[in-house]
Chains A and B, each alone.
Chain A
Amino acid sequence: MATTQLLSLTGVSKEFPGVKALNNVHFDLNKGEVHAIVGENGAGKSTLMKILSGIYKKDTGDIVYLGNHVNVKSPLEAQKLGISIIHQELNLMPDLTVAQNIFIGRENRRKGRLFLDDRKLNKAAKALLEELDLVLDPRQKVGELTIAKQQMVEIAKAVSYRGEVIIMDEPTSSLTPAETDALFKIIRALKASGKGVVYISHRLEELSKITDRITVIRDGEYVKTLNTPDTSIPEVISLMVGRKVDQDQRPDVRTMSTEVVLKVEGISDSRLLKDVSFELRKGEILGFAGLMGAGRTELARALIGADPKTSGKIFLRGKEVKIKSPSDAVKSGIGYLSEDRKKYGLLLIQNVTFNVILSSIPSFSNKLGFLKTKPAGAITRDAIKQLSIRTPSENQYLKNLSGGNQQKVVISKWLTRDCDILIFDEPTRGIDVGAKDEIYKLLAKLASEGKSIIMISSELPEILRMSDRIAVMCEGQLTGIINNKDADQNKIMQLATKFRD
């Protein structure tokens, strides 16, 4: 066993100002193995990976790599040692070619070392891509590739360092099932060539397909390492969250109000949307299903006035409203929670209070424009309690909160603004199972309190679990609205692919 061990971490701890991110965590990786690390958001997975790849320094603990004690001081050193990391957010330069991206910083030079030798570079890249069985043109610009192909470029780049350990952080989070299968093929090839892969994923159903062992961490603490064949998803989940979570739920049948809160008639835009009409009732969760690029996010953005529409009418409780900008939407009581919270939802460098009152600043100020800080703090503390947001205080900066807690802060923002219609775009993206469950409960609670919710989701179990009715889109059009009790994954997929092939 000792001879095949690539990497072992023992007793690793890391503290940030105010947060104990890791406490005495163990992890080891063998040659030709895929070892998953799972845990809720904020459990410490990313911190552990950042320590391993030299981005953070550990406080205590020991790292043994290929039999030697090492201290990974920088990402460059990690790379030299042979530890590569593929981040969830890909770090490629879109205007450079595949080959240029793979060999960035290690370009071939012509004689005299002044000029680049792109031909040699392309040749090396081609050889590498062939070795990995990847169908990519070394001369194509990375920005023109799909996310899945870009990820392959990242993998090729990681392999090009001839390292022994490759860390993949949420590699499948933006891949289709077919692309995921292709990725797994590559991972199996890496495995066969004796590399060790550290695999981080929220998609637990993938673990049984690709991993050999699974290490669970919770709240920065090591919980258990399992052999994949001897375990099950429910066991992993219960270890992750410390309790049991039900996966295949359907919503409790709610007595549905017949009051139509929002009526959308014939929304089109200049690019994708064609004549979309639907009604949203009081206290309802209306799920929007569809494939990537079906136009669900575009519909939401057109609805709230973030992007222009070429036609269409919007009625609020029977009265037509003109929504030309997000501020019109907010005034009408419509709040939008983007799939990309960091980019479109939060002020990461500001504190919880600032974020919670962001949409309602005028109501926290007097006529002269002076802010009332006391009520703002009070309502934020109240929101923290109501939504059980895990934060040391309302003065904590948002960037120090986990994804699930950040999402709760965005929800608090709209609740503080008293929005009756909430549009959730992928409400649980990047949020792990335990926190997901909390978000689901919150959504159900909001609906039962009379809020009307539009929930865009690419995860069918999530759609089926949460929605009262399910609207399905394909290529910018609405292809059907079905009641939850009549719906199943097959029916939804049929509607979602209506105009394809």
Chain B
Amino acid sequence: MTDAVKVIEGEVKSGNRIATFAKREIGRVLALASLVVIFIFFTIMRPVFASWENVSGGILMSTTVIGLMAIGTTFVIITGGIDLSIGTATALVAVIVGKLVQGLNLNVWTGILVGIIVGGLCGVINGLLITILKLPPFIATLATMKAAQGLALIISDLKPVLFTTDVPGWDAIATGNIIPGLPNGILILFGAAVVASIILNKTVIGRYTFAIGSNEAATKLSGVKVNSWLIAIYGLGGLYVGLAAVVLTSRLGSARPDLGLGYELEAIAAVIIGGTSLLGGKGTISGTIIGALIMSVLVNGLRILELQQEWQYVITGLVIVLAVWGDNVRRRRTGEIS
């Protein structure tokens, strides 16, 4: 061992743990800092922005659906893939759940389970197209995106499927309060995020998610059944889409077949703002949640400032550019990328 290596080793051992943690996590620390700064800015402009009513009802609740979709698709993006179908799949799952719950008179819990499973199946279908037919993820999920959109319209007969009148308690899934003052939807979002983070960082499927995204060929030659795991990972992402659909129908009181297209891009934007690389191999759930919150805070704050919606879109675009560019600059500086 050379002297240089010895010196470095010494530094690492004696180095402050908090300092090394901060250095490693600087991407997310910065993202969180920008969220806080944006939040403070709106609060100064309009103090009502920071009221709990606005924070829970306006910001957090409006993050639930996109946030859940973004959590699921974080797994897919870390594998180096993409899922464009999550938006219309949400609509498809919603109408299927609506029809099944009404037709079979299912209770709330069974309805939730059905939604999650149908969402998972949508993901598995994407996984099969990508692994068995070897379609590029972009193409495969573009196809399922269109197919899901059509199927949602066909199954619903172009009409919203109403829930609330027939299924007692369906609206409470998202808007009820198990914890007083905190809508269940928000609880579901953060609970699902914690579960996803544990899956991603502490379990075998999470580790393979990173491995496949880092180098699929090497992972395969290492004896990992890459295809099976990819199907599982797309399926896992689909479970979150299913949950998102359930929360959406609960909030709206109906399943609208036309709602969902475009959500996929918002979810992907949240993932990217959160620092997950589209090239695969890197990413975090907490980053994704921060990314989704930044988008909701912006939309909500700009609305409170009475800025027209057109401008909200423009500013969201700018934020995506700033977030990814800033992250690139930082990584280049630390030598993480060249």
Interface positions of A (Cβ within 8 A of B): 16-20, 55, 219-220, 304, 306, 325-327, 329-331, 336, 338, 343-350, 354, 358-359, 361-362, 365, 368-371, 388, 390-393, 413, 417
B211: contacting residue among A16, A331, A358, CB under 8 A: A358
B56 at interface, CB cutoff 8 A: no
Q: B residues within 8 A CB of A304?
A: 221
Does A347 contact B220, Cβ atoms closer than 8 Å?
no
A413-B214 in contact given A369-B203, A371-B204, A392-B9 (Cβ < 8 Å): no
Most buried by A among B204, B211, B281, B282: B204
B1 at interface, CB cutoff 8 A: yes
Given contacts A16-B335, A361-B204, A370-B202, 20 further A-B contacts (CB under 8 A): A55-B338, A220-B4, A304-B221, A336-B221, A343-B218, A344-B217, A345-B218, A345-B221, A347-B210, A347-B215, A347-B219, A348-B214, A350-B210, A358-B219, A358-B222, A361-B207, A362-B204, A369-B205, A391-B5, A392-B9
Does A392 contact B222, Cβ atoms closer than 8 Å?
no
B334 at interface, CB cutoff 8 A: yes
Q: How far is the CB of B327 from chain A (nearest CB, A)?
A: 15
B218: contacting residue among A16, A331, A344, A393, CB under 8 A: A344
Does A359 contact B222, Cβ atoms closer than 8 Å?
yes
Does A327 contact B225, Cβ atoms closer than 8 Å?
yes
B208 at interface, CB cutoff 8 A: yes
When A and B form their complex, which 8 residue pairs have the shortest distance between CB atoms, in order from nearest?
A: A330-B223, A347-B214, A392-B8, A359-B222, A369-B203, A327-B223, A369-B204, A358-B222
Q: A residues within 8 A CB of B208?
A: 361
Q: How far is the CB of B96 from chain A (nearest CB, A)?
A: 29
List, sorted by A's number, 12 A–B pairs whose CB atoms are closer than 8 Å: A306-B220, A326-B220, A331-B223, A343-B215, A347-B218, A361-B204, A365-B204, A369-B203, A369-B205, A370-B203, A390-B2, A413-B222
Task: Report the bound CA distance from A330 to B223 in whole Å.
Answer: 5
B323 at interface, CB cutoff 8 A: no
Does B281 contact A349, Cβ atoms closer than 8 Å?
yes
Q: B residues within 8 A CB of A16?
A: 335
A338-B221 in contact given A16-B335, A220-B4, A362-B204 (Cβ < 8 Å): yes
Task: Report the bound CA distance from A417 to B224 in whole Å.
Answer: 12
Task: Report the bound CA distance from A68 to B310 in whole Å.
Answer: 56
Does A388 contact B12, Cβ atoms closer than 8 Å?
no
Within 1-35 of B, Cβ neighbours of A (below 8 Å) are at: 1-2, 4-5, 8-9, 11-12
Number of interface residues of B (CB under 8 A): 32
Nearest CB in chain B to that of A359: its residue: B222
Nearest CB in chain A to that of B13: its residue: A393
Task: Report the bound CA distance from A390 to B9 in whole Å.
Answer: 11
Interface positions of B (Cβ within 8 A of A): 1-2, 4-5, 8-9, 11-12, 202-205, 207-208, 210-211, 214-215, 217-225, 281-282, 334-335, 338
Does A390 contact B223, Cβ atoms closer than 8 Å?
no
Q: A residues within 8 A CB of B8?
A: 18-19, 392
Does A390 contact B1, Cβ atoms closer than 8 Å?
yes
Does A392 contact B12, Cβ atoms closer than 8 Å?
yes
A371-B218 in contact given A327-B225, A349-B282, A358-B211 (Cβ < 8 Å): no
Does A354 contact B211, Cβ atoms closer than 8 Å?
yes
Task: Report the bound CA distance from A413 to B4 in whole Å.
Answer: 26
Nearest CB in chain A to that of B224: its residue: A327
Task: Report the bound CA distance from A354 to B338 in whole Å.
Answer: 22
Does B220 contact A371, Cβ atoms closer than 8 Å?
no
Q: A residues within 8 A CB of B4?
A: 19-20, 219-220
A371-B202 in contact given A19-B4, A347-B215, A350-B210 (Cβ < 8 Å): yes
Q: B residues within 8 A CB of A371?
A: 202-204, 207
Q: B residues within 8 A CB of A346?
A: 215, 218
A358-B224 in contact given A365-B204, A369-B203 (Cβ < 8 Å): yes
Q: A residues within 8 A CB of B215?
A: 343, 346-348
Task: Report the bound CA distance from A390 to B7 in whole Å.
Answer: 13
Q: How far is the CB of B229 from chain A (nearest CB, A)?
A: 10
Q: How far is the CB of A9 from chain B (nearest CB, A)?
A: 20
Nearest CB in chain B to that of A376: its residue: B207
Task: Report the bound CA distance from A104 to B222 in whole Å.
Answer: 39
A354-B210 in contact given A327-B225, A370-B202 (Cβ < 8 Å): yes
Task: Report the bound CA distance from A298 to B215 in whole Å.
Answer: 21
Task: Report the bound CA distance from A431 to B222 in whole Å.
Answer: 22
Q: A residues within 8 A CB of B12?
A: 18, 392-393
Q: A residues within 8 A CB of B211?
A: 347, 350, 354, 358
B214: contacting residue among A20, A336, A350, A370, CB under 8 A: A350
Nearest CB in chain A to that of B212: its residue: A347
Does A417 contact B210, Cβ atoms closer than 8 Å?
no
Q: How far is the CB of B19 from chain A (nearest CB, A)?
A: 13
Most buried by A among B2, B11, B210, B222: B222
Nearest CB in chain A to that of B215: its residue: A347
Task: Report the bound CA distance from A348 to B204 in whole Å.
Answer: 19
Q: How far is the CB of B164 from chain A (nearest CB, A)?
A: 38
Task: Report the bound CA distance from A169 to B25 in whole Å.
Answer: 36
Nearest CB in chain A to that of B8: its residue: A392
Does B221 contact A219, Cβ atoms closer than 8 Å?
no
Most buried by A among B11, B203, B215, B224: B215
Q: A residues within 8 A CB of B219?
A: 347, 358
Task: Report the bound CA distance from A343 to B219 in whole Å.
Answer: 10
Task: Report the bound CA distance from A347 to B215 in whole Å.
Answer: 6
Q: B residues within 8 A CB of A390?
A: 1-2, 5
Does B203 contact A365, Cβ atoms closer than 8 Å?
yes
Does A344 contact B214, Cβ atoms closer than 8 Å?
no
Most buried by A among B4, B210, B211, B338: B4
Task: Report the bound CA distance from A67 to B292 in whole Å.
Answer: 56
Q: B residues within 8 A CB of A325?
A: 225
Q: B residues within 8 A CB of A349?
A: 214, 281-282
Task: Report the bound CA distance from A325 to B226 in whole Å.
Answer: 11
